[in-house]
A and B are shown apart, each in its own frame.
Chain A
Amino acid sequence: MIPELGHFALIVALLLALTQAILPLIGAQRGNLTLMSVARPAAQGQFVFSLLAFGCLAYSFMVNDFSVENVASNSFSQLPEIYRLTATWGSHEGSLLLWVLILGFWTTAVSVFSRHLPDDMVARVLGVMGLISVGFLAFLLTTSNPFDRLLPAAADGRDMNPLLQDWGMIIHPPMLYMGYVGFAVAFAFAIAALLSGRLDAAWARWSRPWTTVAWAFLTLGIALGSWWAYRELGWGGWWFWDPTENASFMPWIAGTALIHSLAVTEKRGAFKAWTVLLALVAFSLSLLGTFLVRSGVLSSVHAFATDPARGAFILGFLVLVIGGSLVLYAWRAPKMLSGGGFTWFSREALLLGNNVVLLAALGAVLLGTLYPLLIDALGMGKISVGPPYFNAVFVPLMAPALFLMGVGPLARWKEASLPDMLSRLKWALAISVATGILLPLTLDGFKPWAVFGFAMAMWILLTVLIGFRERLKNGARLSSLTRSFWGMQLAHLGMAVGVAGITVVANYQVERDVRMNIGDHTELAGYTFTFRGTTEHQGPNYRAARGSVDVSKNGKVLYELHPEKRIYNASGMPMTEASIQIAMFDDIYVALGEPLDEAAQTWAVRVFHKPFINWLWIGALMMVIGGFLAASDRRYRIAVKATAPTGAATQGA
C-alpha cells in the first residue's frame, strides 16, 4: 500500500510540476498576474508530494519491504538501520528521487525567499525550475520507477553495495546533489533574465547568493566523496580522476568561474553575456554528469546499472534543456558591450584572466573524460585516459589560476597600477618563492612539484593577510568588514590550506607492502608497526578477520589499529576496511591485504604514512564556510527591501 501511495504521490508531483512550469511562464509572457501567481503554490505543492514519495520509499526500506524491487536489490534484512535509510538513495531510482526532492527543496526555497523580486521574474524562475522537475519526474515514472513491485516478493534483499556502507556515504550524495541541483537556480535566473531581456546588475545580485550557496554545497559534496574514497577504497588514494569524479568536478570549476564573473557583473555591470553563459554551462555540466554516470557511455567504478533506454531519455532531455537554453542564449544574449571600460591591469582584467584559466582547466578535464568515447565513436579503437594524463595537464594549468587568485582581490576595479601592486606585493612574492625553494630542503627529498605547491600556498596566504592589513590600515575594524569580504578571504585561505595539504601528501607520503606474521614489525616514517594477529569478528551483515596492529614510536605504543578484511553475507563480496589514525599533521593508515597463510596468521599488510592529508579536507571545509558566509552578507538582505524600486528604475532606463 505504501509503495503505491509513493507512486501516486510522484504522479501528483508531476502534474503539479507541469502546472508550475506552464501556467506561470505563459502568465509572465502575457503579463497575466493570476497565471503568474500559480507558481508559488504549485512549486510548494510539488515539493510536498515529492517529499511524500521519498518518505514512502524510505519507509519501504526501513521496514524491509522486499516486495519492492528497488528494496530487494539494494537492501538486506541484516543491514543496520542507518544504512537502510541511506539505501533509499543508494540505487539509481532512489538517487534520482533524491535529485527530484532536492530540486523541489530549492524551488520552494526560491518561492519563499523571493518576496522582493518582481512577479514576472519569480514566475519565470519557478517556471523554468518546474520544467526541469517535469523532466526528472517523467524520467522516474517512465524508466526508473522506484516503487516497482516484485512478484513474488523476495525472501531477503541482495544488500546494499558494501562500498557504500560507510558513513562518509550517508551525507555525501545529499550534499553533492544540493550543489548540482543548486546550480539549477542560477540556471533558472539566467533563463528568466534572457526571456525578459533584463540582464542587469540586479539580476546578478539576485543570482549571486544562490550560486554561492550551491557552490559551497558542491564543494562539501566533492570533499566528502574524496574523503569517502580515501577511507573506504583501501589504497589510500583520495582522487582518481574517475569519470564520476570528473562529472562532479566540472560543474564545480564552472561554478567557481561563475561566482567570480558574477562579482564583476554585479559590481561593474560588465561581462553580462559571459556570466549568463557560465550560469547555463554550470548547470548543463551537472546534467551532463548525470548523463555520463547513468547512461553507461563511460565506464566508471560508480556506474549504476545501465540501460540504453535511460540513456536515450536523458540525452533527449539534455538536448531540450541545454540545447534550448543555448539557442535562447544565442538569440537573446546582449549583443552590445555592456558595463564600463577598464584597462589591461584592473580587477576586471584579472578576474577575466582567472575565468579563462579555469575554463581551460575545465576544457582539459572534459577532453580527458570524453576522449575515450570520441575515439570509440569514431571507430578508431579504445584508449584509456587516467590519472597520469590529468595530473600532467591539470596541475600546470593551476599555476596561473592560483597566482591570479592572490593578485585579483588586491587590484583596483577599472584601473590598477602595476608599480603600485609590485611595491605592495614584492615581499609576499619574495617570501613565497623562498618558501617554495627552502621548505622542501628540510623535508625528505627535493621535488619540483613541491616547490611549486609550497610557493603557491604561501603566496595565497600572504596575499590574504595583505588584504586584511590594507583594509585595517584604511580605517576599517575587523568587526566592520563585510561578511562577503570574510567569506572570500576564508575561501581563498582554504584553497591555500588545501594546496599545502595536497603538496605534502602527494610528494612525501610513504607506504610499505609487507608480509606479517604475529609479532612481526616494520618501520615507516619513524613509526614501528607490530602485527598482533587477527581475530574473527561478526558484524551485523558481514564476517570479518579483524587485525590488531600496534603503532609505536621510540618504544612507546601510541595507538592500536584494527584494519578488517570483511566478507559481506548477502553478496559474498570481500571488502578491505582500512584503519586510520587521524591527526592534524599526519594520518597513519593500515590496510589488510590477503591472508598469505591462514594457519600461521601471515597476512599481507599495507601501511601508509600520509602527512598533512587532513589539510585537504580542512581547506575544503574553509571554502564551504567561506561560501556560506559570503552568501549571508548583509547587502543581499538589505537588497530585499531596496531592489524593487531599483529594478523598476533600471527597467525604465
Chain B
Amino acid sequence: MKSLLFSLLLALTTPVFAGEALPVGEDPAIEQRMIKLSEELRCLVCQNESLAGSHAELAEDLREEIRVQMKAGKDDKEVINYLTTRYGDFVLYRPPFKPLTLLLWLGPALFLVLGAGIWYFTLNKRSKLKETPVDEKQLAAAAHLLEDNK
C-alpha cells in the first residue's frame, strides 16, 4: 500500500512529458545525411550561408524537400541533381569538376609547380654565385652593428 502510494507520488512529481529529447528530424539517419549534404550547398536568399546554417524561409523549405526526397530513397547525387536543375551550379559550394572549373581545381597545383620551378632556378643560380667581396664587407659591418645571433 505504502509503496503504491509512493510510486503514485513519484509519478505525480516527475513530469510525464520529460524524457530523452528527440532529434529535430523524425529520422535521425536522414537528418544527419541532410545536414551533411546541405552544409555543402549554398542558401540562395542569404547567399553567403550554407543551406544547413540558414534560417531563411526558402532554406527551410529546401531542407524539408531534401528530407522528403531522401525519405523517398533518393541518394545524395539525385538530390543534388534535383537542386541543380532548379538553381544551377550556383547552389554548389563545391564546384563540379568540368572544363569551366579546370583552372580553379588545377590552379593551386599549378602555382605550386610554378613556385617549385622558381625555387629551382633561383637556387641553381645562387649556388653558382660567388660571394662578392663588397657584399662581405657590408655584411660584416651590419653584423657588427647587430647582435649577431648565430
Contacts and interface: CB of A to CB of B under 8 A. Distances in A.
> Do the two chains belong together in a single complex?
yes
Interface string A624-653: 000000000011001100110010011001
Contacts of B23: 512-515
Interface in A475-533: 481-482, 484-485, 512-522, 531
B128 A341 contact: yes
A522 B20 contact: yes
A383 B89 CA distance: 6
Given A380-B100, A593-B24, A518 B145 contact: no
A364 B95 contact: no
B40 A386 contact: yes
A293 to B, nearest CB: 12
A559 interface: no
A250 to B, nearest CB: 13
Contacts of B17: 517-520, 600
Contact of A605 (B21, B100, B116, B131): B21
A101 B55 CA distance: 37
A382 B88 contact: yes
Contact of B104 (A352, A368, A574, A646): A368
B20 A638 contact: no
Q: State which size class the interface on B falls in.
A: 35 or more
B136 A515 contact: no
A342 B89 CA distance: 50
A128 to B, nearest CB: 25
B47 A299 contact: yes
Contacts of B119: 349, 352-353, 356
B22 A360 contact: no
Interface stretch (B3-11, B66-74, B75-83, B106-114): B106-114
A384 B19 contact: no
Contacts of B92: 383-384
B91 interface: yes
A382 B20 contact: no
A237 B125 CA distance: 46
> How big is chain A's contact interface, by range?
35 or more
A445 interface: no
Interface of A: 200-201, 205, 233, 235, 237, 240, 242-243, 266, 268-270, 299-301, 337-344, 348-349, 352-353, 356-357, 359-361, 363-364, 367-368, 371, 375, 380-389, 392-394, 397, 481-482, 484-485, 512-522, 531, 574, 576, 593-594, 600, 604-605, 634-635, 638-639, 642-643, 646, 649-650, 653
Given A341-B126, A386-B50, A389-B95, 6 more contacts: A342-B126, A356-B112, A356-B118, A517-B21, A520-B19, A600-B17
Interface of B: 15, 17-25, 31, 35, 40, 42, 46-50, 52-53, 55, 88-95, 100-101, 103-105, 107-108, 111-112, 114-116, 118-119, 122-123, 125-132, 134-139, 141-142, 145-147, 149
The 10 A-B pairs with the shortest beta carbon distances in the complex, nearest first, are A386-B93, A519-B18, A341-B129, A356-B115, A388-B94, A364-B108, A360-B111, A363-B111, A514-B21, A301-B48
29 contacts: A201-B138, A235-B53, A340-B131, A340-B135, A340-B136, A341-B127, A344-B127, A349-B119, A349-B126, A352-B123, A356-B115, A357-B112, A357-B115, A360-B108, A371-B104, A381-B100, A382-B89, A383-B95, A385-B93, A386-B50, A386-B94, A389-B104, A513-B25, A518-B17, A520-B20, A635-B146, A639-B146, A642-B145, A653-B134
